[in-house]
A and B are shown apart, each in its own frame.
Chain A
Amino acid sequence: MERVHRRWGAAALAAVLAMGARRVRAEDVPIEQLRRELRDMQGQLEKLQEQIKKQQQVIDKLSAGQQKAPATAAAPPPAATAADEERLKRQVTEQVLRRMQPALAAANKTFPSQFNPAIGLILDNVFSYSEKDRGDFEFRAAELGLSASVDPFARGYAIITGSPDGFDVEEAAIVTTSLPYNLTLKGGRFFADFGRLSKFHDHDLPFVNRPIALDRFIGGESQADGVELSYLVPLPQYLTLTAGAYNKLGAENDRVSNTAPRDFSQFTYLGRAATFLNLNDANSIDLGTSYAYTPEVKVDNGASRHLAGIDLTYRYIPLSQASYRGLIWGSEFLYNQEDRPVGGFPAAEPALSLARGLGLPPAAPAVADPPASLVFKRRDAASFYSYLEARLSRRFHPGFLFDWVQDVDHVTGDTKGYSPYLTIWASEFQRFRLQYTRLDAPEGHDNQFFLQWTVILGSHVHGFRDR
């Protein structure tokens, strides 16, 4: 150890002397000054030696401690290594995280917008040509769908439609997600749980137009402002029961106003039961029955209205080829009973009598005879549609729709429609449809041709309702 010490000192002295000598030669300074500098250097050298000595002592002490450690510490070295390794890993992780943090923080900045609802837009266009009405490029709708969770207890959605008629809120509803006892409560404006296809938006229908049976009896979609409580019966067999109360049922049902306040007897009340029979892996039947009751329909003479329906859907979906093969047969039968004016409402009469019924001033100037002259009679009528659609491949789905409707006023005869159609799916989000409809109406026959082009942009949810 001493030798090492001395060698360090000698080397340092030699270095200092060499540097000093170089400087002397270079600057050619007087001897006295040289001596002084030499003395200074000697002083510095001594200090340096002292410092080295101290450092050496520290080194000696440390290395002695390390030699002793294994002897004194009972802990086996692998444990210490494992702990070191663990510490090292933690350090590395922390270091990586510290480095990543700015990037993560930057990404976090987009998070507030992620609370925005899912947005989807559906564009639906139809070119139609009918012998009676001739051709028309019809922009049917741009339908904006928004949906998101509200909180842990509810979710909400809205479907806002822009069409040549202007903007309309088709649906805007709150649905509970965590009620006990298998209950779900829905409130707002939504498609009431009546039948099957009346809950489908126009663009979701399997054919170009809503079946006449539904259009005439329900009034388009089963749109309703109100509340609905649905219950999944806790049985091994699927069974849901729904009860609802609404201002009215049907978007285009003009028997009742949707905006004026009314007595409880003037609301529409609904009950529905739906079940499902799994015949085997590939074959199944959905069966439902619905009943809508309005105790007092003010547009007529204040009598009640009953609307009942049965819907049956048979499906053949081979499990291993579900996207490529299949058959669906869907039918609905509706029965309507209400008081109707003998000979039907005169033109523009419904709006006038509606206003009268609700105690409102007439919306339009009175153009018809006083409504008091109308004589009402209890009428019942039925309607029915049935369609069969085959899935020949993922792209081609041909089908046939049959429609039959009785006149609710018993003034004219039945209307029948025969509509073969072919749906061509370019992808899950783009669809073309060709349809021909032969309409046998009391006012005459009509041949109609349709070409529909529908696309979906953005979010699209596969809803249970749209099965």
Chain B
Amino acid sequence: MMRLIRLPFVLSLALLAAAATGADKLKVVTTIPDLADMTRQIGGDQVDVTSLATGVEDIHAVPMKPSFAVTLNRADAVVLLGLEAEHAFLPALLEAARNPKILRDTPGYIDCSVYITPLDVPTRIDRSLGDVHPMGNPHYNVDPVMGKEAARAIADGLSRLRPEHEADFKKNLAAFEAKLDAAIARWEREAAPLRGKKLVSYHPDLIYFAERFGMEPVGTIEIRAGVDPTPGHIADLEERMRREKVDLVVRELHYPAGLAETVARATGAKLVELPVMTGGVPEAKDYISFIDYDLHTMLKAVQGS
């Protein structure tokens, strides 16, 4: 009899415990899947991670869905690229989410750019320069070395929120860094044929990638960041590309195909179509396979030519 009475009690205790462990996880919302992958690897079983973007979007034009406000409302932390990359959707969503835990400069606001040395920091802030980012180019996630810095910021952020698990986060970070270091060494070897190659992209999405692998960005199809080209700009760009013998035209997949193709055809450059985030193509299922995909696609184009 006693045993019969005890059984539901034990069962409910077990259920409670299960619920408690589930509820105990840090609910982390990242803006892009790259950061979601890193947060999962560093946070381990301490985190429950959701990404707002799926990876196919333009980081500057992620639709501002009210359902994101609900996701952010329940979050313990938000992880972002920073450098105003998410300016088009995150500030407004944070306002709509009514979650004081993740407002800017609170412990739950994990800005991954804290250890990044930004490139292309403007010397003049003026709208005549286009959609200029006052703190520098924010597309650093395409450089795996910068990816390591972002991971460090994530580990810092998680430790801030769960100091009792700091050692675990550090251990996981070290493991992730080791994995990334091995990949970086391989990528640097593989990227030898890319050295000195000149590229034109649609938007300045690949500055960090080019810098890492010794490529030379020559210009963009956009007349200025965030501003669609004019026919005059395209004519000038094509002339410059022919003069400077540009090897590659990169179309980031969230930009229209037609114009990039036309420019490539007119100048004899190879057209390369690249995702700029994890999840941008099915092959880029995590951060390492994303960089793998971009690098190998670029290599294929160069070696094919």
Q: Give CA–CA (A98, B208) in the complex, Å.
A: 32
Residues from chain A with a CB closer than 8 A to the CB of B64 are 462, 464, 467
Look across to chain A and name the residue whose beta carbon is closest to the beta carbon of B88: A462
Residue B100 CB within 8 A of the other chain = yes
Query: Chain B 57-70 against A: per-residue CB contact (8 Å), 1 yes, 0 no?
Result: 11001111111011
Residues of B within 8 A of A317 (CB): 63
Residues of A within 8 A of B100 (CB): 177-178
B87 within 8 A of A: yes
* CB contact list, A355-405 vs B, under 8 A: 393-395
Indicate if B181 sits at the interface (CB-CB under 8 A): no
A427 touching B54 in the complex, CB below 8 Å, given contacts A276-B67, A461-B91, A462-B64: no
Asked whether B66 lies within 8 Å of A276 as measured between CB atoms, the reply is yes
Within 8 A of A (CB), among B123-144: 127, 130-131
Q: List the B residue with the shortest CB-CB distance to A394.
A: B228
Contact of A321 among B69, B91, B254 (CB under 8 A): B254
Task: Kindly state whether residue A237 has any CB partner on chain B within 8 Å.
Answer: yes
> Which residues of A lie under 8 Å from residue B98 when comparing CB positions?
179, 182-184, 232
Decide yes or no whether B56 CB sits under 8 A from chain A. Answer: yes
Quick check: is A252 within 8 A (CB to CB) of the other chain?
no
Q: Is the CB of A238 within 8 A of B57?
A: no
Q: Are A393 and B256 in contact (CB under 8 A)?
A: yes
Measured between C-beta atoms, what is the minimum distance from B261 to chain A in Å?
15
Does the CB pair A322–B63 fall under 8 Å?
Answer: yes
Query: How close is A389's CB to chain B, nearest CB, in angstroms?
Result: 15
Choose from A234, A281, A457, A462 the contact partner of B91 (Cβ within 8 Å). Answer: A462
Within 8 A of B (CB), among A276-333: 276, 278, 281, 284, 286, 315, 317, 319-324
Once A177-B100, A393-B256 are accepted as A-B contacts, the answer to whether A320 and B95 lie under 8 Å apart by CB is: no
Contact (Cβ within 8 A) B66 A238: yes
User: Taking the nearest CB of chain B, how far is it from the CB of A141, in angstroms?
Assistant: 20
Q: Mark each residue of chain A from 19 to 36: 1 if its CB lies under 8 Å from any CB of chain B, else 0.
A: 000000000000000000
Q: Which residues of A contact B131 (CB under 8 A)?
A: 428
Chain B residue nearest to A395 (CB atoms) is B228
Q: How far is the CA of A204 from the CA of B24 in the complex (A)?
A: 44
Instruction: Assess whether A463 is interfacial by the CB under 8 Å rule.
Output: yes
Which chain A residues border B88 with CB–CB below 8 Å?
462
Q: Is the CB of B57 within 8 A of A320?
A: yes
How close is B165's CB to chain A, nearest CB, in angstroms? Answer: 27
Asked if B288 lies at the interface with its beta carbon under 8 angstroms from chain A, I say: no
Closest to B280 in A: A320
Query: In the bound complex, do residue B65 and residue A177 qualify as a contact, i.e. CB atoms below 8 Å apart?
Result: no
Give chain B nearest CB distance to A78 CB in angstroms: 24
CA gap between A428 and B58 in the complex, in Å? 15
| B96 interfacial contact with A, CB 8 Å | yes
- B65:A284 contact, CB within 8 angstroms: yes
Q: Is A264 an interface residue (CB 8 A)?
A: no
- Is A232's CB under 8 angstroms from B73's CB? yes
Check: B282 CB closer than 8 A to any chain A CB: no
Q: Does B253 touch A at the CB level, under 8 Å?
A: yes
In the complex, whether A236 has a CB less than 8 A from a CB of chain B is: yes
Chain A neighbourhood of B97, CB < 8 A: 232
B227 CB-CB contact with A under 8 Å:
yes
Bound-complex Cα distance A322 to B58 (A):
8
Question: Is B92 part of the contact surface with A, judged by Cβ < 8 Å?
Answer: yes
Tell yes or no: A429 within 8 A of B by CB.
yes
Q: Which residue in A315, A320, A427 is a CB contact (below 8 Å) of B227?
A: A427
Shortest beta-carbon distance from B98 to chain A in Å: 5
B216-252 CB contacts (< 8 Å) to partner A: 226-228
Chain B residues whose CB sits within 8 angstroms of the CB of A457 once the complex forms:
127
Closest A residue to B95 using CB positions: A464
B302 within 8 A of A: no
Kindly provide the distance from the CB of B31 to the nearest chain A CB, expressed in whole angstroms. 14
Inter-chain CB contacts under 8 Å: number = 86
Partner of B66 from the list A236, A286, A393, A461 (CB cut-off 8 Å) is A286
Considering the complex, give the chain B residue whose CB is closest to the CB of A233: B70
In the complex, chain B residues whose CB is within 8 Å of the CB of A322? 57-58, 61-63, 254
Residues of chain A lying within 8 A (CB to CB) of residue B89:
462
Contacting residues of chain B (95-134) with chain A, CB-CB under 8 angstroms: 95-98, 100, 103, 127, 130-131
B49 beta carbon closer than 8 Å to chain A: no
Residues of B within 8 A of A395 (CB): 228
* Contact (Cβ within 8 A) A427 B63: no
What's the nearest-Cβ distance from chain B to residue A60, in Å?
A: 51
Q: What 0/1 pattern do residues 71 to 98 of B give for CB contact below 8 A with A? A: 0011000000000000111011101111
A237 touches B57 (CB 8 A): no
| Chain B residue at smallest Cβ distance from A278 | B67
Which A residues are in CB contact (< 8 Å) with B74?
234
B254 nearest CB neighbor, chain A only? A320
Residues of B within 8 A of A463 (CB): 92
Interface hits, B250-264 → A, CB 8 Å? 253-256
A429 to chain B, nearest CB (A): 6
Interface string of A434-460 (1 = CB under 8 A from B): 000000000000000000000001000
Are B226 and A427 within 8 A (Cβ)? yes
Across the interface, do B63 and A276 meet the contact criterion of CB distance under 8 Å? no
B62 contacts which chain A residues (CB < 8 A)? 322
Cα distance, A236 to B56, chains bound together (Å): 24
Chain A neighbourhood of B130, CB < 8 A: 427
- What are the residues of chain B within 8 A of A278 when measuring CB–CB? 65, 67
- Nearest Cβ in chain A — how far from B121, in angstroms? 15
- Shortest B253–chain A CB gap in Å is 6
Separation of A377 and B227 alpha carbons in the complex (Å): 56
Q: B249 → chain A, closest Cβ, in Å?
A: 18
Least CB separation from B226: chain A residue? A428
Max chain B C-beta neighbours (<10 A), residue from A281, A322, A395, A467: A322
> Which residues of A256-286 are within 8 A (CB) of B?
275-276, 278, 281, 284, 286
**CB-defined A-B contacts under 8 Å, sample of 21:** A177-B103, A178-B100, A182-B98, A232-B69, A237-B70, A238-B70, A276-B65, A276-B66, A276-B67, A278-B67, A284-B65, A319-B54, A319-B57, A321-B254, A322-B58, A324-B256, A393-B228, A428-B131, A461-B92, A462-B91, A464-B93
For the A-B complex with A178-B103, A395-B228, A463-B92 known, give 16 more contacts whose Cβ atoms are closer than 8 Å.
A179-B98, A182-B73, A232-B96, A238-B66, A238-B67, A281-B54, A315-B63, A319-B54, A320-B253, A322-B57, A322-B61, A394-B228, A427-B130, A429-B127, A462-B87, A462-B88
What are the 7 A-B residue pairs with the smallest beta carbon separation, nearest first? A276-B66, A320-B56, A464-B92, A238-B66, A178-B100, A464-B96, A322-B61
* Residues of A bordering B, CB below 8 Å: 177-179, 182-184, 232, 234-238, 275-276, 278, 281, 284, 286, 315, 317, 319-324, 393-395, 427-429, 457, 461-464, 467
